[in-house]
Amino acid sequence: MIEQWIERALPQPDRGQVPPFQDARSARDWLKLLPLINVPVAHAELTEAISQLNHSDLPALDALKIIEQFRETVHILQEGMQEKLIGKPVPLTPAEQETWFAIYSMWLHLEHAYALAWRAACSGEQTVAEYLPLLAERTLYYTNQAMACQVQIYRRPPARDWQQLFAFYQLARAQHIDKLKARDSLIQISGVSTPEAMFLHALLFAAANPYQYSHKQQLWLHKRLEILATRSTLAPKAEGLPGRPPLLINLAEPGVPLRADGRGEADELSIDTLSLAQVLSKRIKLLRMGEMPEKIGLGSELGPQAAEELLRELYRAWCDHPLERQLPRRPTDRYLEAGLQLKNLHLWLAAGHFAPPPQAEQQMSSAELMQIRMFGQTSARLAPVAPLAPQTQQWQISNETAQGMCLRRPRDETQRLVLHQVLMIADGQQRLIGQIRWLAEQDGEQQLGLQLLPGTPHAASIRAQDAARFGQSDFTSVVMIDAVPALKSPASLLLPPGWFRQGRLLDYWDGQTMHRIRLVSLLQRGADFERVHFVGSGGL
């Protein structure tokens, strides 16, 4: 049985190339000369060296020693490369895709290196046989990294990646090393882990629905799971919160763990979510009492409030999510038009029934003043400007609830998306507006979850009256959303980022009448908008 798992999980050696190093000492000397100040060059050279090592005839123990020496440098370079992708919309540009693929390839090379050493240990090489728990832990560690690397660009790992992850774990389980500890200097606080903890790491990361998190939040979660995964276990009948069954997997069906009642099958294992709930709730309480995140093992990347909000999300996803949704999803296959960006949405809403705001004849726009300063004249009024047409795309609805919907369409590289971006849809004659709650890509198809905002959107124009914008007569195109008293949702404006300041006075044009309004509070901040509550402030 073990032989079958070895053949299924571990790669066949492909030897024959000349090793890039004679031994671990020469590799260490080479590493000292690597130009770490130039991250892309150093990254490419190290990737090539590891690739050659994986296809060389160097003894397994020497190869293992070299890879262990390289680990810390690899992670430093990987972080340097990942910084180039933080906050980038998807799909990536060709240059960004090349950077991402370099990062992804490095993780795969490391997974392959440890898997080869694991196979050598299974084949009877006594020099590495004593390191079996370490080899299993490291192999699963880098399988985790490779899968998380795909999630970081909002791409769902394909089925073959899940099959590989489950195969590695089942081999470790068959060899009875899944719960044995291995030292790992890259894991903070404890410095040790197990193959099972690495497997749980991948399962919990996927169960957290990471497609709703920013790149920074994903990296934070991935780092915290190095410890959180050690606080749980896998068992045929693990514990969950009262009335909430634990997360369940079936070893014969690799994939994301689900919350479901088990069918009693031999291949079923459940995750101890009761222990996770205790760990998470303790840290949430400490954060509310004023404890700093770094003091309780949560790192310094997120502030106390952001860390608490993320822990509460994880508590709901892992421990307290009900079997049935309060708002059930209704499957559908309707198509609709959708648009992005505030100015574009204003054009869409204004088409045919929105008069532009009036301007005094003696006033000139800032663009006209700039032309006079640069060229001594202005041509802005010499020729009428043709009205712009709004840009929309067609999406298909996968399912919907009263508060949102899941949309999908073939991958489109001309329209890039980011989390929490404003998006408006036309469902028949009805216009609905919301923000992108999560993003994912699978099998060449873009998918997103749209969280709807209550109220009907309308075109509007505003102009600031404070000293900071003194002398500017230009109006800015925005979107106004009606109040919905039944949902206690006030009338609000969707403004460009940076516009909100409490008490700020604005001229507000609704297409027919000019009003004076005052900004009251910031209700929501998205990637490309601020949703602001406003009230009237007397006549002009």
pLDDT at 361: 45
- Whether residue 195 is predicted with pLDDT greater than 80 in this model: the reply is yes
- Determine the residue type at 241: L
pLDDT of the residue at 190: 84
What pLDDT is stored for residue 382 in this prediction? 45
Is 1's pLDDT higher than 80?
A: no
Tokens of 374: 């640069």
Please give, one letter per residue, the 3-state secondary structure of 392-434: CEEEEEEEECCCEEEEEEECCCCCCECCCCEEEEEECCEEEEE
352: confidence class by pLDDT, cuts 50, 70, 90: confident
Q: What is the mean pLDDT of residues 101-122?
A: 97
Burial 82-118 (b: 16+ CB within 10 A, else e): beebeebbbbbeeebeebbebbbbbbbbbbbbbbbbb
pLDDT tens sequence across 123-174: 989 999 999 999 999 999 999 999 999 999 999 999 999 999 999 999 999 9
Asked if pLDDT for residue 366 goes beyond 80, the answer is no
For 31-56, what is each residue's pLDDT tens digit?
A: 999 999 999 999 999 999 999 999 99
Share of the chain above pLDDT 90, in %: 79
Give the pLDDT band (50/70/90) at residue 467: very low
Return the number of other C-beta atoms located less than 10 Å from residue 468's C-beta: 9
| 74's tokens | 């690899």
More confident residue, 189 or 203: 203
What CA–CA distance (Å, rounded) separates 186 from 184?
Answer: 5
Where do the structural domains in the chain lie, given as residue ranges? 2-223, 232-324, 327-351+390-451, 457-536
Considering the domain 327-351+390-451, what is its CATH architecture?
Beta Barrel (2.40)
pLDDT one-digit tens code per residue, 225-257: 999 999 999 999 999 999 888 999 999 999 999
Cα–Cα nearest to 206, from 166, 266, 173: 166
User: Is residue 468 scored above 50 in pLDDT?
Assistant: no
**One-letter amino acid identity for 11?**
P
